[in-house]
Amino acid sequence: MSEEHELIYLHSQVSYIMRCQRIFLLVPFLFFFSVCFNLVVSQESNPNYDSALAEKLGADDYGMKTYVFVLLKSGENKSEDQDARSAAFAGHMKNINHLVKEEKLLVAGPMLKNDKDYRGIFILNVNSIEEAEELMLTDPAIAAGYLYPDMTLWYGSAALGEYLEASDKVWKINP
């Protein structure tokens, strides 16, 4: 075999090997793509899906929606005027009940003693921080500076508010 023929033969062998390498590199990619495609296509629908309930609750396709999470912290008002403080917190409790009746407040509760000045939480059934800020202005303890609301958007189950009916059936003593 001449040198020229050997070079042509080697070149064809190298070309063949390179094509095989490309194919071998392509096989894992195709396998990965196939698995991902099957996962997406094979997602099953929920047999318990209730479209009327989902619409009523404002659920997206995943059964979720946007809320505003409020972390109540100690405010800057450190006044020792017990009458003013008692009146503000009585108004705070009255405002909580009002917001629940308006279906704007889904979760509320105090924090146990902690070293971070966390006093309580709210989960508000509103879509924006601006709307939450307006609601917080109606709270006498916040307006008086005894509490400070730190707010952020939160994505959670649209069915969160459905627990309120049951929660009214489990307390013996009105808090």
Phi, psi of 174 (to 5 degrees): -65, 120
Higher-confidence residue of 28 and 154: namely: 154
**Rounded (5°) CA angle 104-71-170:** 60
Per-residue pLDDT reduced to its tens digit, 18-73: 554 555 555 555 555 565 555 554 567 888 999 999 999 999 999 999 999 999 99
Residue 164, pLDDT score: 78
Residue 45, pLDDT score: 84
Q: Give the pLDDT band of residue 169 (cuts 50, 70, 90).
A: confident
Residue 4 has pLDDT above 80, yes or no: no
Query: What is the C-alpha to C-alpha distance for residues 156 and 140, in angstroms, rounded to an integer?
Result: 28
Identify the CA nearest to 155 among candidates 39, 51, 68. 68
142: exposed, middle or buried (Cβ count in 10 Å: 0-12, 13-18, 19+): buried
Phi, psi of 148 (to 5 degrees): -125, 125
- At 37, list the tokens: 């495609």
- CATH topology for the 52-167 domain: Alpha-Beta Plaits (3.30.70)
Residue 172, pLDDT score: 86
Identify the CA nearest to 167 among candidates 122, 94, 110, 106. 106
Residue 6 has pLDDT above 80, yes or no: no
Identify the CA nearest to 109 among candidates 95, 124, 120. 120
Identify the CA nearest to 157 among candidates 47, 49, 45, 60. 60
Per-residue pLDDT reduced to its tens digit, 73-130: 999 999 999 999 999 999 999 999 999 999 999 999 999 999 999 999 999 999 999 9
- What does pTM read for this prediction? 0.72
